[in-house]
Amino acid sequence: MANKEDLHDIIKMMADDPLGNEREIVSEIISDKYLLAFENIMADSNQELTVAIVNEEIVGTFQLTFIQYLNFQGGLRAQIEAVRTNSKYRGLGIGTKLIEYGIKRAKSKNCHVIQLTSDKTRKNAIRFYEKLGFKASHEGMKLKL
Q: Answer whether residue 27 is part of any domain.
A: yes
> How far is C-alpha 99 from the geometric centre of its chain's CA atoms?
9
Residue 139 forms part of a structural domain: no
Residues 6+ apart with CB under 8 A from 100: 132
What is the residue range of 111's domain? 4-131
Residue 37 sits in a domain whose CATH number is: 3.40.630.30
Residues 12-66: tens digit of each pLDDT: 999 988 888 788 888 889 999 999 999 999 999 999 999 999 999 999 999 999 9
- Please write the tens of the pLDDT for every residue from 79-108: 999 999 999 999 999 999 999 999 999 999
Structural domain contains residue 113 = yes
pTM of the model: 0.91
Count up the domains in the chain and report the number. Answer: 1
